[in-house]
Structure formats: structure tokens, C-alpha cells
Amino acid sequence: MGYDMTGFPFLTILIFLPLATGLCLLPVWNCRPDLWRPVALAGAIAELGVACLCWPAAAAPAKGAPAGFFLFEDYPWIAEFGIRYTLGMDGLSLLLVILTAFVTLIAMLASWRPVIDRVPLHYLLILAMESGIMGVFLSLDLFLFYLFWELMLIPMFFLIGIWGHGRRIYSAIKFFLFTLAGSLLMLLAIITLYLIHGSQTGVYTFSLYGLIGTVVPHSTALWLYGAFLLAFAIKFPLFPLHTWLPDAHTDAPTAGSVILAGLLLKTGAYGLVRFGYPLFPAAAATLSPLLMVMAVTGILYASWIAFAQSDMKRLVAYSSVGHMGFVALGIAAWTPVALSGAILQMVNHGITTSAMFAMIGMLDERTGTREIDAYGNVWGKAPRLSFFFLFFAMASAGLPGLNNFVGEFLILTGSFKVSHLAVALAGIGVILPLVYTVRLIQELLFQEERRPLIIPDLTVTECGMVVVMACLDLYIGLHPGPLLDMLHSPVAILTGGAG
Amino acid sequence: MFENVWLIPLFPLIGFLINGFFGKKIKNEAVIGGIGTLMIFLSFLVSCGVLMQLIGLPAEQRVFEKVVFPWIHCGNFKADMAFLIDPLSAVMIMVVTGVGSLIHLYSIGYMHGEEGFYRFFAYLNLFCMSMLLLVLGSNMLVMFIGWEGVGLCSYLLIGYYFEKKSAGDAAKKAFVMNRVGDFGFLIGLFTLYWWFGSNHNIWTINFVEIKAASHLLPYGGVVTIATLCFFLGATGKSAQLPLYTWLPDAMEGPTPVSALIHAATMVTAGVYMIGRMSFVFIKSPETMMVVAVVGACTAIFAATIGTAQNDIKRVLAYSTVSQLGFMFLAMGVGAFGAGIFHLMTHAFFKACLFLGSGSVIHAMHHALHHGHLHDDAQDMRNMGGLKKYMPITFLTFLVSTIAIAGIPGFSGFFSKDEILWQAFANPYHGGLNIVLWGIGCIAAMFTAFYMFRLVFMTFFGECRINPKVKDHLHESPLVITIPLMVLGFLAVVGGYIGMPKLMGMLPNYFEHWLDPVFELANEYGKEYAHVGHHTHALEWGLMGLSVVIAVIGITIAFTMYMANNKLPEKFTSTFPALHRAVYNKWYMDELYDFLFVNPCKGFGNLLWKGFDVVVVDGIVNGVGKIFMGLSAGIRGLQTGYTHNYALGMTLGAVVIVALYIFR
């Protein structure tokens, strides 16, 4: 495009702008409650703007960067240990960065009214989390990556613990312990890899592209990859490591659920694609049947359990497990079409599921309950809200013409040549979401009201928010071209395939 | 016109958007209904233009593909938003927009005063758009958008009276059963796509390209698997065994919906899909046999149930299932043209029958409402003698009944007889052909029987409605009767464009018209089956036989329901078990509940409460308890504040990190 962006530290800004905005809240912490929300929102909007500005940069590769990266920053940091401050953005990162900025904005809007307690802290945590997630999606140094990986956990822990419902302490601790257990093993693997590489070449480095190609004995590689896989599978979450998710979702505040489903789950998939497979290609290939089994089992298992839920959030949480199973299937197949589908599905799931959680949050805020059995005839009371609820539910159930279908379809198409059986079983996973989704909308929107709940229709702000999300769903569903083009080169480089 | 084919689905989409978003504000029924009807009528006009242009071309040039915009391009996978115009899709768009326009018009009268009037028209328009995408799609994926879209609209329209639980359950059942079929569609698509790609490096899901490459397909083998999967999709959408039980329940929706979606258009999508891919289906003799057998079995199975129902719409619903069975029988014996022909004539007479029943229900409802009675307005036992009160409805209904029963001179005769003849004469299934023909004939007799039973119970005999409200029975307004008259007219003359050559009066235009579409399939068919020679005398003889069969059916109905009213009761008391079984639809719903629905629910609960919470979470909590136990030792740190726990963990993490790095 028309302007020169080389040298401008876009990536650093992307990572630290939210945190800086959060720190801007400190001076007004006690004295200007009217400024809390505008400042935080302004930061989130600016972040989205910066993220979008990166799109045109994709036209030209960055100098000195690994293939496929168009924005790249690299500075020595802790030289004694070969730790560098390396950030890079390719098509894969770009889509997830934009998604992060977008979903964070949604999360802020979703907590606009319900959060009245300790507001500045709430926004500070959201912004800090955004910084962490951005860092995860942009780091190309394993140490830096790990730092951000842990950093994004802490704000979420507090979000659930402070503003959550129900057994929030239990859920927060469960969430924290689960993910921490996995990531500590990953850290161990990172350090082992660092030492192996160092002892072989004499160069001690944490740089991803320095470590790729390290010759590791296959049996060791399996252990190291296993540790990575465990950490990522917990984040994903894949069956049977998923049980923290329903609890965390159910007890998290709306903003927490939105970020958790929309973004945190994606970091697991991203880690697998960016680090797991490239670092240990042989081990990954050996274990890909395992990943596939976990994926397909998860799809069927979670969808089935979703059917038995009575709490809306828990239902959508289990549906997330199912949808992320599709992403895992696409990664396990590791063909260009399946991988593109998997990455696209990460974006789709991020938008659609955030929208679902945001809408459930709206209902919860109006009525104080998330029990499906309490509702009925919402359509008669709040038709606009119901329409959009139906819309997102259908998108989530994979209705063709909307976004999730494109991702799921590409995943299945691309995986078919790897395993007919897995696709056939996952295909059943296309039916099941409809069963529980239809049950949900049936009992929620239709039928006679079961409790005399007062449900005002969407406000103008809420309406604007869901309309934007619905438009995105429709746009990606009908015209996924730009996104798929953006993924073309990273996916080709990752899979080593031409087509 | 070809370049503007995208207008055809666009108009109903506009209608949907206007009515869906502003309908509530517009309020005026005439405007809302007018917009809805006008939009689909505009599509009809464009369709006429397309048809005219197509007729003007030489037969072999009647294929045109219009790419509207690129859709999914990823690696070697490519699917565009593209439309295909050929004689087959031209027939379909004419039926959908033509019958659709009439039903929209009818709905203005029928839905008058309903609370969700605008919602109804919005959904109806959305349905038309999806259906048009389905029939116009030039690749399987565009077809699939329509395929699922009509499922969604059908769901919304069956559940139109959404506060009624039975309506909601029926809607849910329809949607889910359709989705079961859609699973088959997808797997079939993957199989074909993968086979062409990996064996011949042809990565396509485009119908024209698949047709061009279809000579590469083997007979049987992988084609059997793919086509059986596609056929599963067809059984879901077109309510064939074993996925038919949703259609009778779908009668919970408003009657125009039953006419448009559950008789004339959506349910025929499966037949259309087989027609669209005839060149693939015919390559698998096994699938062809399955299609024919399922079709024939459904035809007779549903027809038997139809004989014992008392709800006027349910009889018509089972009749639809049965007639769809005839269409599948046609497809399965390689009589593709005849199947599509029956699809068209059936759209005319069945739409007319449903709308006629709607007119009756409307009148009954109105009358009962006046007397503050709560009798069932759809139960034929409450009707009788209505021909006096509703002459136009009666006449159009009678004409359509004669057409479906297969009396010569009416449209249904030509199409059904063509199917039966080809079931007998086509050589694909050897000795099975005569069995299929026999089953078809018996089903045809049942058809004549239950349809005339319906007519006799509704329009003839004494009026059984409560005498108090008899005077309130009257004919429906013009907006309702005009569509009836047009459809009734078509039910009579619609068949003449496809008269058998045998009769020699007119050439079989319809078959010639579809020749370019099905030519290739017929050629492939000759590879494994040789068309025998049958004399004209035989064809005349069988035609005569099918007329005799229809007359027998009508006579039985007349004897039982007109001449001797005591006979049905006598029959029930003589064979109580048989009657109960038929009346309860052979207990298929109960069987499905027992086999699938209940175990599914139970299993979901078991997985959650049993496995997820106890086993998986138990392990996790166990580990957690160990940690808690350890931390109990250092109780001083356990302050109960969340931040302190978190701080502890973070510190711990940092310590571990530090240990590894600085050791």
C-alpha cells in the first residue's frame, strides 16, 4: 500500500498499547469514575485500529524475517541466555491479532452495564489480558512466548475469582492449576530443547526459527512434543482435559466468558500450529493419530453432553469443546485445506461463540438466571434479541452461508484424504450441534413462558454490537476469500505444500 | 435473461429483508402480503424469461452457468456462488416460483388476522430464496446452502405457532431428521470430491464438470458408497423410509406451508438431487435398486397409513410421502424424466389439495368459532356434506383427487402411469422390476381409496358439524379460491405436455425437453442393462390395468363411505389389531423413541453426570485435594483471599522457572 511501514514498531505497540491504556486508568482510579469506561474503551478501539492497519502490510515481506512474515522486530534482550525480543506477524498472526482486538472490544462492551464493582480494576485486567494474548500471537522467541503465555492467565484468574458467580473460587483455581500444570511441562520441554540445541551447535538460543531443525532423537522428541501437546491440549481444550472449561465458563463474568471462549482457547491451537508442529515435525506426525482421536472423541462427547445441560452458559461451553475439536481435527490432518479451515474456524468460533456468550450475558443481566427452564417465549417479549440469538445459534450449528460452516467444511474436506473414518465420525458431529442448539432455542425463544420474566429488548448499543458481529458472520460465510488469501502463504509454508 | 438469473433468488431475499425487519412497523396486511407475493411473482416473471430463452436455443446448447461471485477458494478446493440453467433447473424454478406465487397469494387470505403475519411472509420469502438456491446451484455446495436453508425455514414455519408445544416438537423433529440426511449429503460430497481428485486430479464439486468427467467413474464400488450417502440425504429431505416420520408431524404448521414446503417444493428436493446427479447414480446398479425399493416400499407403507387417518391434513401428508415414494421409484428404475414429470404434476394437484383442505379448515374454524365450539376443525368426522357450502373448493378438490387417483385425462394419470410402465419395462433390476411394478400398482389402488375416502367424508353425505353453526359455513374469499382454481386447472391440463407417445396425439414434450439432461445417464445405463422390446399391446394392457385398479380403489371407498356407512365400523371391529396398528402409524414413532430418542437423552446425561463429573473431574479434584492437603500444613498462608492464592501460584511458577534457568 501507499505508506512505508518498515521500522515502525507496530508489533510492540500492539502488545503494549492495551497495558499502557490500563496504566492510564491509575491516575483516575479513585477520583474520576466517569473516565474509567471511556479511557478503557478508547484504548481498545485504538488497538483494533492499529491491528487493522497491519492488514495492508501483508503485501510485502519484511526484511530479514523468516519466510511469510511481513512485520518483524528483533532485538537482543538477555544476551547471556540467548533470549531475544523477537516479534513477527504473518497472515496467521494477523487474523488472530485482529480477532483479539475485536473480541476484547466486545468483552468490554458486554461488561459495560453488569460490572459496577471495582470497575477500573476490571478494565485494567481485561487490557492486561489483551496485552498478554497479543504477545502470545506475536512472539517468535520461545522464552518470550512462555512469558506472555503465563501473563495472560493471571488476569483471567482474577476476573473469574472476583466478578464470577457460583463456585467462582473453585473454578478460578481449577482453571489456573489446570493450565499451569500443562505450561510448566512445556517450559521444561522448552529448556530441554534449548539445551539440546546449544550442546549440539554451541549456539544457545530461544529463537523459534533458530530452534527449528534441531536434530532431536525421535524418542526424546516424542517426550518434548508430548509436553507441548499437553499444554496446548489443556488450553484447547481437548478431551479428556476439558473439565476446567465448563466450570470456568459457568462461573466467569460475561467479559471473562467472551475472552475465554473467543481468545484463550485459540492460543492452544495457535501454539500447536506455530510451535508444536514446526519444532517437532516427525513427532507431531507420529502423534497426529492421537490428536485426531482426541479431536473426534471430543467433538462427539462434548456435543452429546451439551444436550444434557440446563445452564445456557454450560451448554455453550460444551459446544465450544466440540467446535474446538474440529479445529484440532484440521490441525491433525495437516493438509493445506484442512489447516486453512482450522485457522479460519478459530476466527469463526471466536466471533460466533463470543456473540453467544455476550447474548447469554444480556439475558442473565435482564433476568438474573441462566437456567433454560426458566425462560420460554422470549421471542414474544424481545423479538430483536431473539432474532440475533437464533442467528448466532444457527451460525454456531454450522448453517451454510454463515461463517462456521466454511471452516468446518474446509476442515472436513481437507481431512477426508487423511482419514475417512475420522471425517465420517466428525460428520456426525455436524448433526449433534443442531440437536442441542434447536433444543436451546426451542425452550428459550419459543414455547410458553415458564416464569414471568421481564425481558426488555436490545438497547441501541447492544443492537449495534450484535449487528456488527452478525455482519461479520455473514461476511465470512459468504465471502471468506480475503481471509483465506491471507492464510494462503503461511499455510503453504507450514505444510510445505504447494496447493 | 440468463445473465440476470441471480435476480430469481434475489427478489424473495429482498422480500424477506423488508418484511422481516420492517414488517412489524408496516402493520398493514395488504402491504406486507403484497410485497411478499410481488417479490416471488417477479421471480416467476424472470423464470419465464429464462425458460423462453432456453426454449429458443437448440437442445444441445441448453446449458448455461452464471458465476455471481467467488465463494470458497482454498488450495485446490473451489466453490463459487454460481447458478446453473438447464432444462431441469428451468422446470424446477417454474414450479417453485409459479406454485409459490399462488400460495403466497392464498396466504394473504388464509393468514388474515394472525398475530405474526409479517413473520409468516418473511419466512415464506426466505424459504423461496433457499429453495431457488437449491435448484439453481451449479455446484453441490450452493445446493447445500439451499438444502439446509429450506430445512431452517421449514423449522421456523412448522413452529410458526411457537407457543404450542406440539408445533415446536414437530419443528424440531423435522429439522433434526433433515440434518441426519444432510450428514449423508456431506459424506457423499467428500467421497466424490476425494475420488475424482486423488485418482484423476480433478478437484471439483461442480455439476457440469462432474458430468463431463463422469465417464471416469467406475460402475459400483466407490460410486455406490457416495450415491448411497447422497440418497440418505434425499430420504431425510424427501421423507422416505426410514426418515419419513417428521413429515406428518409437520402438518402442525399453517396450511399454506404444508402446501408449499411439505408438498410442492422442499420435499421434492431429494428427487431433484437424484435427477441432477443421474449420471452418477446410474453408475451404481446397487444404489439404483435401493432407491427403487425404498421408493416402492415408502409408497405402499405410507398409503396404508393414509387409509386410517381422520385428520384431513394428515391424510394428505401420508399421501405426499407415498407420492414421493412413486417419484423415487421412478428415479430408481431409471425413469428420470417420468420422476420429474410426476414431481411437477404432483406439485399442482397436491398443492391444490392442501390449499383446498386449508379452505375447508378455514371455513370450519370460522363456523366453530362462531358457535364457541372446541371441536377439531381438521377432523373429517366433524365434516361431511360440505360441497353444498363450498362449491369452488369442492370442485377444485375433486378435480385434484381425480388427478392423484390416476383417472385418464387428468395430469396424475399421465405421470403415474409412465412411472408404473417404466418400472415394469425398464431392465435395470431384472426380476425385481415386476415386483416393483406390482407394489406400485397396489399403492396406486390405496391412493385412489384413501383420497376418495377423504372426499366422501368431507364433502358428501350428511353434514356432521354441530347444527348450531351450520349456517356459518360458507365459501372462502376470492383471494383463496383463485389460487385453487388456477391449480385445479393445472391439475387437469398439466399432464398433456407429457402424454405418452403411445397415445399418439401429442409428442411427449416433457421427455424431449429433459432429454439433454438425462441422455448421458441413459447411455451409462445401457452398459449393464439392455432395453428389451415390449409390444404396444402390452403397454396398452398395463395402462388399462392401472385404470381398473384406480376404479377399484374408488369403488371400495364408495362402498364403505357412501353406500354403506356401517362397513368401516364393521371392519374395525373385525380386525381391531390391524386397525389399531394402521391408525397408530404402525407404531413407528414409538419405535424411534425407543431406539434413538430416549437412549440419546439418557446417554447424554450418563456421559455428563457419570463420566465427566465423576471420572474426569474426580481425578482432577483428587489431585486438587492432595494439593490442598499439602497446603493445610502451611495454614498460615491460607488467608482465604483469592489474590493470595494467585500470588502463591504465580510466585511458585516464577520460582520453578528461575530454578530451571539459573541452575
Which band of pLDDT confidence, cut at 50, 70 and 90, is reported for residue B379? confident
A103 neighbors A258 (Cβ within 8 angstroms): yes
**In this predicted structure, which of A166-175, A289-298, B333-342, B369-378 has the lowest mean pLDDT?**
B369-378
pLDDT tens digits for range B41-85: 999 999 999 998 888 888 888 888 888 888 888 888 888 899 999
DSSP annotation string for A276-303: IHHH-HHHHHHHHHHHHHHHHHHHHHHH
Judged by a CB distance cut-off of 8 A, whether residue A446 touches chain B is yes
Gyration radius of chain B over CA positions: 28
A311 neighbors A370 (Cβ within 8 angstroms): yes
| Nearest chain A residue (CA) to B166 | A447
Q: A301: which chain B residues are within 8 Å (Cβ-Cβ)?
A: 607
Q: Which of B72, B639, B661 to mutate to test the interface with A (most CBs of A within 10 A)?
A: B72
Answer yes or no: do A380 and B69 touch at CB < 8 A. Answer: no
Greatest mean pLDDT among A401-410, A415-424, B18-27, B364-373 lies in A401-410
B481 neighbors B393 (Cβ within 8 angstroms): yes
Answer yes or no: do A416 and B190 touch at CB < 8 A. Answer: yes
The C-alpha of B329 sits at a distance from chain A's nearest C-alpha, in angstroms, of: 28
pLDDT tens digits for range A164-195: 888 888 888 888 888 888 888 899 999 999 99
Strand partners, A141: A207
State the average pLDDT over residues B16-31: 84
Question: In the predicted model, what is the mean pLDDT of chain A?
Answer: 87
pLDDT tops 90 at residue A134 = yes
A450 neighbors A376 (Cβ within 8 angstroms): yes
Answer yes or no: do B144 and A400 touch at CB < 8 A. Answer: yes
Which band of pLDDT confidence, cut at 50, 70 and 90, is reported for residue B502? low
pLDDT of residue B630: 60
State the average pLDDT over residues B433-437: 87
Comparison of pLDDT for B397 and B26, the residue scoring more: B397
> Which is it for strands A71-78 and A83-89: parallel, antiparallel or unpaired?
antiparallel
- Give the single-character DSSP code of B594: I
Enumerate residues 167 to 206 of chain A having a beta carbon within 8 A of any beta carbon in chain B: 169, 172-174, 176-178, 180, 184, 187-188, 191
Answer yes or no: do A434 and B175 touch at CB < 8 A. Answer: yes
Enumerate residues 265 to 324 of chain A having a beta carbon within 8 A of any beta carbon in chain B: 301, 304-309
State the average pLDDT over residues B237-242: 86
State the Cα–Cα distance between residues A46 and A20, nearest whole angstrom.
12
pLDDT of residue B274: 93
Over pLDDT 70: what percentage of chain A? 98
Q: Which of B73, B74, B153, B252 to mutate to test the interface with A (most CBs of A within 10 A)?
A: B74
Return the number of CB contacts < 8 Å for A and B.
172
Which band of pLDDT confidence, cut at 50, 70 and 90, is reported for residue A93? very high
The C-alpha of B286 sits at a distance from chain A's nearest C-alpha, in angstroms, of: 21
Question: In the predicted model, what is the mean pLDDT of chain B?
Answer: 83
Q: B194: which chain A residues are within 8 Å (Cβ-Cβ)?
A: 416-417
Q: How many domains does chain A have?
A: 1
Count of CB atoms within 10 A of residue B656's CB?
14
**A3 occurs within a structural domain:** no
User: Whose CA is closest to A349, among A473, A245, A226?
Assistant: A473
Over pLDDT 90: what percentage of chain B? 21
Q: A391: which chain B residues are within 8 Å (Cβ-Cβ)?
A: none
Which band of pLDDT confidence, cut at 50, 70 and 90, is reported for residue B386? confident
Which range marks the domain in which residue A65 is found?
Answer: 10-495
pLDDT tops 70 at residue B454 = yes
pLDDT of residue B4: 85
pLDDT tops 50 at residue A1 = no
pLDDT tops 90 at residue A101 = yes
Q: B148: which chain A residues are within 8 Å (Cβ-Cβ)?
A: 399-401
Comparison of pLDDT for A343 and B461, the residue scoring more: A343
Q: A329: which chain B residues are within 8 Å (Cβ-Cβ)?
A: none
**A91 occurs within a structural domain:** yes
**A234 occurs within a structural domain:** yes
- Joined together, the cell numbers standing for residue A118 give 471495582
Q: Which residue has the cell 499502557?
A: A20
State the average pLDDT over residues A411-423: 88
pLDDT tops 70 at residue A5 = no
Q: Which of A158, A400, A412 sits opposite B145 (nearest CB)?
A: A400
Q: B172: which chain A residues are within 8 Å (Cβ-Cβ)?
A: 438-439, 442
**Through-space distance between the first and last CA atoms of chain B, rounded to whole angstroms:** 79
The C-alpha of B426 sits at a distance from chain A's nearest C-alpha, in angstroms, of: 35
Q: A445: which chain B residues are within 8 Å (Cβ-Cβ)?
A: 162
- Give the single-character DSSP code of B475: P
Strand partners, A342: none
pLDDT tens digits for range A450-497: 888 888 888 888 898 999 999 999 999 999 989 998 998 889 888 885
B236 neighbors B298 (Cβ within 8 angstroms): no
pLDDT of residue A103: 93
**A246 occurs within a structural domain:** yes
State the Cα–Cα distance between residues A494 and A112, nearest whole angstrom.
40
Count of CB atoms within 10 A of residue B376's CB?
15
Over pLDDT 90: what percentage of chain A? 31
Which band of pLDDT confidence, cut at 50, 70 and 90, is reported for residue B658? low
**In this predicted structure, which of A323-332, B64-73, B427-436, B479-488 has the lowest mean pLDDT?**
B427-436
pLDDT of residue A2: 39
| Nearest chain B residue (CA) to A422 | B187
State the Cα–Cα distance between residues B543 and B540, nearest whole angstrom.
5
State the Cα–Cα distance between residues A91 and A95, nearest whole angstrom.
6
pLDDT of residue A498: 41
pLDDT tens digits for range A232-277: 998 888 888 888 888 888 888 888 889 988 899 999 999 999 998 9
pLDDT tens digits for range A216-225: 888 889 999 9
The C-alpha of B474 sits at a distance from chain A's nearest C-alpha, in angstroms, of: 33
pLDDT tens digits for range A293-331: 989 988 888 888 888 788 888 899 989 998 999 999 999
Comparison of pLDDT for B242 and A394, the residue scoring more: A394
pLDDT tens digits for range B315-325: 899 999 999 99
Sign of CA dihedral B331, B334, B338, B344: positive
**A97 occurs within a structural domain:** yes
**A4 occurs within a structural domain:** no
pLDDT tens digits for range B164-220: 888 888 888 888 888 888 889 999 999 999 998 888 888 888 999 998 888 888 888
pLDDT tens digits for range B264-313: 888 899 999 999 999 999 888 889 999 999 999 999 988 888 888 888 88
**A104 occurs within a structural domain:** yes
pLDDT tops 60 at residue A12 = yes
**A1 occurs within a structural domain:** no
| Nearest chain B residue (CA) to A426 | B183
B149 neighbors B156 (Cβ within 8 angstroms): no
User: Whose CA is closest to B449, among B582, B318, B558?
Assistant: B558
Q: A438: which chain B residues are within 8 Å (Cβ-Cβ)?
A: 155, 172, 175-176
Q: A414: which chain B residues are within 8 Å (Cβ-Cβ)?
A: 75, 77
Counting every residue, how long is chain B? 663
| Nearest chain B residue (CA) to A434 | B176
Helix (H) / strand (E) containing B74: strand B64-74
pLDDT tops 80 at residue B631 = no
State the average pLDDT over residues A155-161: 88
- Joined together, the cell numbers standing for residue A95 give 487474523
Which band of pLDDT confidence, cut at 50, 70 and 90, is reported for residue B363? confident
